A and B are shown apart, each in its own frame.
Chain A
Amino acid sequence: QQQVKQSPQSLIVQKGGISIINCAYENTAFDYFPWYQQFPGKGPALLIAIRPDVSEKKEGRFTISFNKSAKQFSLHIMDSQPGDSATYFCAAGAGKSTFGDGTTLTVKP
């Protein structure tokens, strides 16, 4: 049973554009929703995280939008840059996170 569904699987965006990745979760007990960035051959690194008591969190070019009633959250990358090209994972849960399947983002110069 997949508890966190992530889409799209891959995404191509032009430099300067907005990248949007979506996730949906099933377990309403989840109370922590992080996004991770992973480059090839490296471990994931936390980008930004949100708790369900807020609907949006922004850190620099990265924004999480959270819809508790729909059990959905999304990552928006503004002014996407080639250096943002990586695989992005959403996750849910504070103690033991459940990961989405990942989205491979390619930002074309």
Chain B
Amino acid sequence: AQSVAQPEDQVNVAEGNPLTVKCTYSVSGNPYLFWYVQYPNRGLQFLLKYITGDNLVKGSYGFEAEFNKSQTSFHLKKPSALVSDSALYFCAVRDRGYSTLTFGKGTMLLVSP
């Protein structure tokens, strides 16, 4: 089975500060990992993905994520948060033996001015 956990329902950060949104996963084999963002009343938008190769993945809007196999984590990071980054963030995983993605419950990121 494959599963993903986002341990924080909400993350609060001040504008200009670094942000981290946590994600841990469980798969039986090697994972494919994704981050998506959802702005209010919109569908999800792709941010970045890890398939293979470099453990540090860079994505849209200055976001990056680090794949850590020993800790089974794929935390989303940004060096300097913007108020416009406030949104709902979803981590998703796919075990290479599966054909579908499993999404986490989402983490609301609130960036204050």
Q: Do A and B come from one complex?
A: no
A contact residues vs B (CB 8 Å cutoff): none
